[in-house]
Amino acid sequence: MPHLSVILPFHNEHSGIRHLMERLYPALGQLDLSYEIICIDDGSTDNTFEALVHERRFDRRLKIVRFARNFGKEIALTCGLRMASGDVAITMDSDLQHPPETIPDLIAKWREGFDVVYATRRNRKTDSALRRVFSRAFYAVFRKIADIQMPEGAGDFCLLSRKAIDAVNALPERNRFMKGLTSWVGFRRATVPFDVGARDSGQSNWSFFRLLRFAFDGLSAFSTLPLRIWTWCGVLVSLGALLYALCLIVDTLIYGVDVPGYASTMVGILFLGGLQLLSLGIMGEYMARIFTEVKARPLYFVSERVGFDPAQDSGTHV
């Protein structure tokens, strides 16, 4: 019988764990698969870990990894995929925004032979208006300038076959924009629509600025356009300056020397100064990311593991 790994990241979600499992077990039970549930406690400060350990009383197939601190959801998913022993894995949020009832549809697509199956959200009703506007803008820009194609509405609710898991695990980068990575590896892809639920309990872990940083992480990992665009800006501005110089020469020849304009000089200086700072800033952003990659620190540290085969235990960091 094929084996399924369900990967769930948790950050301060203790109040929702029971609800989640109550819906997850029946969804998994109806599949013709054996399964494991890998829970990553991403440095929770409430008693998420204790609640997860408690859950093991109901199902021993629950496995728990506790991070040494909060490393972020993307890293938690990375860890889950590395630990997964399944022939197929499903990653999903643990706040019940990703309904477990969609799992059988994902598995059905996998059985049809697809390697990466995205559950795509039909609507963004649960997001705030501001967040909706920004995520629309982000995906519109992303689709235009990134080197990969991400399906509309795809998030971290997705299925990966063993081939795709191995491919994602083989990617060494520290900047782990998971939706991007799972698209980048290729393979046969499909989508399954679902209605995103309201958050079961607790609150979203993402502040506006964290989302903004996440968005630029995603863009910079899959596009070098923000770096290259300055060449074209430079060419355009230089051409403009050349034309302006020609105009000035002709003007001077015909009408003689005029009183030099203060306003136009200021505008020129400020505009170019701003442009240069902006381009330098963007280069700085890329450089900072190169710096993190070059340091090559481990992606995460594990403080505890529960339920894993000791043979699988490869120390406290990976």
CB of 97 to ligand UDP, least distance (A): 5
CB of 246 to ligand UDP, least distance (A): 54
CB of 206 to ligand UDP, least distance (A): 5
CB of 261 to ligand UDP, least distance (A): 51
66 touches, from ligand UDP, Mg ion, none (C-beta below 5 to 8 Å by class):
none
By CB atoms closer than 10 A (0-12, 13-18, 19+), residue 294 is: exposed
Reference 92, options 138, 157, 145, 42; nearest CA is: 157
Cβ closer to Mg ion: 44 or 97?
97
Torsional sign, CA 68, 201, 95, 305 = positive
Q: Which two tokens stand for residue 84?
A: 């997964």
Residue 182 as a binder of Mg ion (CB under 5 A): the answer is no
Residues of span 78-97 touching Mg ion by CB under 5 A: 95, 97
223 touches, from ligand UDP, Mg ion, none (C-beta below 5 to 8 Å by class):
none
For the sheet containing 154-161, what is the strand order? 189-194, 116-121, 154-161, 88-91, 3-10, 34-41, 62-67, 302-306
Q: Cβ of 314: how many Cβ atoms within 10 Å? A: 12
Torsion of CA 244, 250, 255, 259, to 10 degrees: 30
Rounded to whole angstroms, the Cα distance separating 65 from 76 reads: 9
CB of 93 to Mg ion, least distance (A): 5
106 touches, from Mg ion, ligand UDP, none (C-beta below 5 to 8 Å by class):
none
Cβ closer to ligand UDP: 99 or 268?
99
Q: Cβ of 133: how many Cβ atoms within 10 Å? A: 11
Cβ closer to ligand UDP: 55 or 87?
55
Write out the residues near ligand UDP by the rule CB under 6 A: 9-11, 13, 42, 70, 72-73, 76, 93-95, 97, 204-206
- Binding residues (CB under 5 A) for Mg ion: these are 95, 97
